[in-house]
Structure formats: C-alpha cells, structure tokens
Amino acid sequence: MAGHRMSSLPVAQFCGASAALSAKHGAGRAAAMSSAFHALLAGDAAGDRERGRLARLTPEELAEIQTWKRPPDVIPHPTITLPLHLAKHETEHALSKDGYPCDPKDALTVGHSDLLFVVDVESTGPDVGRYAVIVDFKRSTFTTEDGPESLQLLAYGLSAALESHCTHFQVGIWPLTDGDGMEWGPVYETQSFEAAAIWERIREAASSSPTEYATGPHCRRCYGRPHCQEYLLPVSDPAAALAPLSVPGGLTAANAPEVLALYERAKVVMELVKDNLEAFAEREPIRGADGKIWRKVTCANGPSFNGKAFQAEHPELAQKYTSPGKGTRSMGFRWTK
Ligand code: SF4
C-alpha cells in the first residue's frame, strides 16, 4: 500500500503524520475488540479463526463486547430491509492511486468495512439500481465526529460501489453502546460529481506526507497524540503556559483556548504516565514514605437494578413509576458545535 489506511483518512486529511503515528501506536485493542465482536455475531457459525480472536481478549474486554448491542436487520430505506445474515463481514476494500478497485498490495489506500450489503433495487422508493450499503460499528455516537460523512466510511462506500458495479452507495453507523439506532448518511450516485469530489478528498488524504505535522482540533481524534512532539510541545514548558492562572483575572477570553489546550495535552501525558505506573505496580509494589502500597484493588459493587428486564416483565408497573422527562442527567464540559 502506497498511502494511508482508510481508517486514518479522517485525520490524515488535515495532518499526514497522524497516519504513521496512529499505525504505530493506534487503536490496537479497539480493533481487536471490534474483530472479536464479529465472532460473537457469527455465533455457532464462527470458525476457529474467529473464535481465536475471542480468546485473545482480556476478560474485561470480553465482558465489554458482550454488552455491545447487536445490529438489527438493516433498513436503509422504508422499502428495503437487509437481513443481517446476508451481510458480508469485514470486507477488504482497496483503491488504486487512480481511484479504481485493485489488489491491496498495489493500492493507494486499503480498509475493512464491518458489514457490506449489495442489493438490487427494482421497486418504487429509492432510485432503481444496484446499491452498496455499508454499516460501520462505532463504540458510541461520539466516536466519530463526522458521523456517516466520515471520510473513512465514504472510502468504504465508494470502494464497495466500484468493486460491485453499483450505481449507488450509502453508509451508516451502528453505535454499539448508545444511540437509538442506525445513523444514515445520504445516498450517493457512484458516477456523479459528488462521488468524484469524495474520491479527490480520499486521494489527497491518503497521499498526505507522513512527515508533515499540522496541529489543530483534529488532534483530539488522533491516536498518535500521546506520542506526537508537536502536540505535546506546550506541555514541555507548563510554567509559561500556566502563567495566566497565577494572577487574579489573568485567565481571559484571549488566552483561555491556549490554557485549555495545555490542560487537554497534559491529560494525555498523565494518562500515559498512569498506564505506565499501573503496569509497573502489577510487577512490583510502589511503596509510599508512610509504608502504604499503591496497588490494584477490587471494589465490591452493590447489587444493581436491571430496569430493562423489569420493564419487560412488568411494563404497566414500569410505566406507572416512570416520570416522563425526568431521566437522570449529568453535567460536563465537552467540545460542541
Ligand atoms: S497529534 Fe495532531 S499534529 Fe500530532 S500527529 Fe496527530 S494530528 Fe498530527
């Protein structure tokens, strides 16, 4: 492969270095869990290879993927239902530097979609034609900022459409841990100006220089940021960056973004420090001056109430004691549009 992987494109379109750093320090465990989830979906039909993926997870990771929501039959349009058992799982897609499907070893960019359906539409509703429908699994609706318009998913969709001679393609996201259902992007015609513009974006992102760094809001989505010197540069001189906090009224609208950037970057470094300390403490005790030992402890959780099971067993009682609009809420700060 000459360029960057499709999964790197959403950040690589802004910073070429992100792809190389993410490949080295990337979402290894997340990818392993996602692959293992396909084995769970296959159930008894899973082969030795798929079952092997389950065996490679930690007990905590295995417990987590068992709580993930299984996707239902896929309904990209009210007149089309695609039964899950007809999906192709983890399909490899490869596009050449000219934008054609090709052998992965000759490709500019390569990726694997979670679910792929190819369906011929002959009825009323959507335009008649052959559709490539991609469903990608994301842990949560917050995992991908661009939603179904993510360049990664559009690359899967366009590749699948070209590979299967489809007239149209559409991509959707199935959130594994939250959300109300599938989130769909628009339907694209494969031979259209929109699809040509998507290819241009894919080509540019996949070809971006792996030695050129460009910091920006996209850094928050970069798996390589704990290892990126550009991103962590402000942390190397925290005294200068924190100077505004040392005087009353020193934090202003003008310097708050810079201080917040330092806070976010320092958090990334501290997470790394914590991971290392935890790994160290698993091997040998970390003893404080007072003789206490910093170690992993098991906390007993009290019994929990399974609201969903109660609702299924006693729907009338559940409704009687549910106050509409008074669900629990938590407050927090996050980047929003
Ligand atoms: S953290 Fe930002 S600057 Fe560094 S590699 Fe990632 S995207 Fe590029």
Per-10-residue mean pLDDT, the chain, length 337: 92 93 76 84 73 84 88 80 88 96 96 94 81 89 77 97 96 84 92 97 96 90 87 79 84 89 86 85 86 84 79 84 66 74
Is the CB–ligand 1 distance for residue 213 below 6 Å?
yes
Cα(156) to centroid(ligand 1), Å: 23
Same domain for 184 and 250, yes or no, is no
Whether 154 is covered by a domain: the verdict is yes
- What pLDDT score was predicted for residue 52? 82
Is the CB–ligand 1 distance for residue 19 below 6 Å?
no
Residue 14 CA, closest ligand 1 atom number: 7
Same domain for 12 and 160, yes or no, is yes
- What pLDDT score was predicted for residue 51? 76
Query: Residue for token digits 């003008």?
Result: 254
pTM assigned to the model: 0.78
Same domain for 240 and 173, yes or no, is no
- What pLDDT score was predicted for residue 142? 59
H or E segment at 110? strand 109-121
Helix (H/G/I), strand (E/B), else coil: 169: strand
Same domain for 93 and 172, yes or no, is yes
CA-nearest residue, atom 2 of ligand 1: 219
- What pLDDT score was predicted for residue 103? 96
Is the CB–ligand 1 distance for residue 21 below 6 Å?
yes
- In total, how many domains does the chain have? 2
Is the CB–ligand 1 distance for residue 228 below 6 Å?
yes
Same domain for 26 and 153, yes or no, is yes
Same domain for 193 and 118, yes or no, is yes
To test ligand 1's pocket by mutation, which of 8, 9, 11, 15 has the most ligand atoms within 8 angstroms of CB?
A: 15
Whether 221 is covered by a domain: the verdict is no
Same domain for 194 and 238, yes or no, is no
- What pLDDT score was predicted for residue 27? 66
Same domain for 63 and 164, yes or no, is yes
φ, ψ of residue 203 in degrees (nearest 5): -60, -45
Cα(124) to centroid(ligand 1), Å: 47
- What pLDDT score was predicted for residue 70? 86
Whether 337 is covered by a domain: the verdict is no
Same domain for 171 and 28, yes or no, is yes
- What pLDDT score was predicted for residue 325? 57
Residue 229 CA, closest ligand 1 atom number: 4
- What pLDDT score was predicted for residue 8? 93
Same domain for 83 and 193, yes or no, is yes
Burial class (CB within 10 angstroms; exposed 0-12, middle 13-18, buried 19+) of 87: buried
**Structure-token pair, residue 45:** 């039909």
Non-local CB neighbours of 125 within 8 Å, separated by 6+ positions: 77, 78, 79, 80
- What pLDDT score was predicted for residue 326? 52
- What pLDDT score was predicted for residue 151? 96
- Nearest partner of 184 among 269, 264, 258, 78, judged by Cα: 78
Residue 233 and residue 81: Cα distance in Å, rounded? 51
- What pLDDT score was predicted for residue 132? 96
Q: How far is CA 19 from CA 15, 27, 114, in A?
A: 8, 12, 20
Whether 336 is covered by a domain: the verdict is no
Cα(334) to centroid(ligand 1), Å: 20
Whether 293 is covered by a domain: the verdict is no
Is the CB–ligand 1 distance for residue 17 below 6 Å?
yes
CA-nearest residue, atom 7 of ligand 1: 219
Same domain for 233 and 129, yes or no, is no
- State which residues form the domain around 275: 228-288
